[in-house]
Amino acid sequence: MKIALSVFKECISTVFDAADQLLILDMDNTEAPRRSTARFSGKDPASRISDLAARGINVLICGAISRPMERSIASRGVIVHSFVRGPVEDVLAAYLGNRLSLEVFSLPGCRGRGSEATSCPRQSGRRRRPMGCRMRPPQPGEQD
Amino acid sequence: MKAGKAGPSGPVNRSDGQNIILDSIADGVFTVDRDWRITSFNRAAETITGVLRGEAVGQLCKDVLKADICEKNCCLRTTMKTGEPIINKKIRIIDARGRKFPVSISTALLRDAKGRLLGAVETFRDISVEEDLRKAIASKYSFEDILSRNRRLLQLFDILPDVAAGGSTVLIEGESGTGKELFARAIHNLSPRKKQPFVAVNCGALPDTLLESELFGYKAGAFTDAKKDKPGRFSLAENGTLFLDEIGELTMALQVKLLRVLQEKTYEPLGATKSVEHHVRIIAATNKNLEDLVRQGRFREDLYYRINVFLISLPPLRERMEDIPLLVDSFIRRFNALQKKDIEGVAADAMSVLMDYAWPGNIRELANVIERAFILCKSGLIEKKHLPESLWTAAAAPADSRGLSLREAQAAFLTDALRENGWNRLQTARRLGVHKSTLYRRIKALGIVLPDR
């Protein structure tokens, strides 16, 4: 089984439709998953689907994704875990430990995101700060 | 203005007065602190992004806005770095439900009374209606612009990228007004030929001789008044897509010529002595059943099989009634923008009429009905009285031969809608834009059995 995560630096890329890079894990290797990286050849659904198909991807873990793109990828039998956020290693561990549905791994407003016809269930209860994927604040001297 | 702190304890410390001011602004507005965490988030921002204020405050702005530029070309970062505001930059965001649409954003620095930097503010506005109009004018539709929840069409969307990627000839069948050209343009815009021309020809609109010169062009001297060469549509569509609409209207003589052009990938302009090679993708469309025409001897069998490499059958609107609320909403947004009106939607009784009508003219007829309603309806909701009387009478008429299938379609649509809303009738009624009692009546009338809750 091959798992692909769309990544930006050490985190899940926020928007899959604009993401460039994939981290691919080949889980068939029994000792340790073999890791590789790949770049998308284009941004349109057709080229993304063919890129995933060419690499034999079974599972895609990604951030926000547009409905047509998600539908097209899922129609190829790829299991899509969308609207996910967080550091790659944490997300991966959560996926392997069946904990990806935890609130901390969902983009705001997207927890338990159902079918497109239903409204997105709202988060309830304790609000948590996202995990450590932060943009670097401007440093002194960088501003006018 | 003081940047609030977010934490597990609850929303930001911000006075009600500030929230009231922010909420009164029609554009989405949010502020961030120097760590890019959202400190305030107004109501319009909630509507546009689909993220509630309580969920947004304290989060990184990129996780809430979900824009295509967030990671590499963040406007707030640029403003924070340079101090310069950014005004009306067009970007695309994905809302919490997976809808991708364009917004126009502006950014500026946020300083306190002493001029100390607190963070930045971003305002944004949904410009999908303007974008829709621009696309309508430029005919730059993509398959993301085709609105549907119909299973048949959703299955079609799944394979459309593959159909587009291949260079095969496509035949689109569908009744008049079902959106054949829209699909053809979407296929073209999704294909590797998207930067090349898309040329449309209506084969039924021109007499035979004129159509031949239109398609293949002519050389100077080919006939009287042919003073110089004129390129045909094949030449204009070179390396692109040629859309042959109403192909069932071609005469037998032109069918033979077209078959040869498709088989040999060459054509001869009128009066030319040499064949010209072409690299044109053909998408043909018809509102007739070509198989029937073949059986009647009115359409060449060999041409039929040549163009029918990949067949797309578009369902008539009466077989995708679940799309009516979606389409109506889209037309209302478009006409509101075009006519500078503020029609809010369709009243339950009017929606009921729209759902009961068989729509022989399909989506084009629905668009015309909404456009007509805009003339009569000045503001508020479109009501039954704003719809043509012919719709009420047709809807109220006793079931004819189509009645059963329409009823079945309505039952299937309602069952799907109920299922998608967890069999919650109140929520389903809200989603469909009808009153709950209307929904209850329909459930009873259509004999839909709800599961035990």
| Residues of chain A positioned with their CB less than 8 A from the CB of B427 | 119
- The domain locations on chain B are 16-126, 136-315, 319-445
Residues of the domain holding A85: 2-105
Q: What's the mean pLDDT in B404-418? A: 75
Say which residue the tokens 């079931």 belong to.
B399
A117 pLDDT above the threshold of 60: no
Identify the pLDDT of residue B7: 40
Identify the pLDDT of residue B282: 95
Q: Are B58 and A82 in contact (CB < 8 Å)?
A: no
Distances (CA, A) of B408 to A9, B189, B314: 52, 35, 19
In a domain, residue A45? The reply is yes
| Residue of B158, B320, B323 best to disrupt the A interface, most CBs of A under 10 A | B158
| Residues of chain B positioned with their CB less than 8 A from the CB of A129 | 6-8, 58-59
B123 pLDDT above the threshold of 90: yes
CA B248, CA B173: separation in Å to the nearest integer?
A: 10
B138 pLDDT above the threshold of 70: no
Q: What is the DSSP string of B264-323?
A: HSEE--BT-SS-EE---EEEEEESS-HHHHHHTTSS-HHHHHHHTTEEEEPPPGGG-GGG
In a domain, residue A117? The reply is no
Tell me if ipTM is over 0.90.
Answer: no
Cβ count near B178 (within 10 Å): 25
Q: Write the burial class of residue B183 (CB in 10 Å: 0-12 exposed, 13-18 middle, 19+ buried).
A: buried
Tokens of A59: 């599972």
In a domain, residue A48? The reply is yes
| Residues of chain B positioned with their CB less than 8 A from the CB of A133 | 60
A140 pLDDT above the threshold of 50: no
Dump pLDDT digits (tens) for B349-372.
Answer: 888 889 888 899 999 999 999 999
Q: What's the mean pLDDT in B198-210? A: 87
In a domain, residue A133? The reply is no
Does domain B319-445 fall into CATH 2.30.40.10? no
Computed from CA positions of residues A73, B145, A15, B95, in that sequence, does the dihedral angle turn out positive or negative? Answer: negative
A84 pLDDT above the threshold of 90: yes
CATH number of B16-126: 3.30.450.20
Q: What's the mean pLDDT in B67-80? A: 88
Q: Does A13 touch chain B (CB under 8 A)?
A: yes
In a domain, residue A113? The reply is no
One-letter amino acid at B105 equals: I
In a domain, residue A53? The reply is yes
Identify the pLDDT of residue B396: 57
| Share above pLDDT 90 across residues of chain B, in percent, rounded to a whole number | 40
Q: Write the burial class of residue B128 (CB in 10 Å: 0-12 exposed, 13-18 middle, 19+ buried).
A: middle
Identify the pLDDT of residue B134: 73
Average pLDDT, chain B: 85
Q: Picking from A125-134, B96-105, B263-272, which range would have the lowest pLDDT averaged per residue? A: A125-134
Q: Does A115 touch chain B (CB under 8 A)?
A: yes
The secondary structure of chain A, three-state, reads CEEEEEEECCEECCEHHHCCEEEEEECCCCCCCEEEEEECCCCCHHHHHHHHHHCCCCEEECCECCHHHHHHHHCCCCEEECCECCEHHHHHHHHHCCCCCCHHHECCCCCCCCCCCCCCCCCCCCCCCCCCCCCCCCCCCCCC
Computed from CA positions of residues B88, A45, B148, B423, in that sequence, does the dihedral angle turn out positive or negative? Answer: negative
Identify the pLDDT of residue B389: 86
CA B95, CA B101: separation in Å to the nearest integer?
A: 8
| Share above pLDDT 90 across residues of chain A, in percent, rounded to a whole number | 43
Q: What is the CATH number of the domain that holds A69?
A: 3.30.420.130
A112 pLDDT above the threshold of 60: no
Which span out of A104-108, B227-231, B432-436 was modeled with the highest average pLDDT? A104-108
Q: Are B59 and A129 in contact (CB < 8 Å)?
A: yes
Identify the pLDDT of residue A114: 42
What pTM does this model have? 0.58
Domain total in chain A: 1
User: Confidence band (pLDDT; 50, 70, 90) for A81?
Assistant: very high
CATH number of B136-315: 3.40.50.300
Assign B2 to helix, strand or coil.
Answer: coil
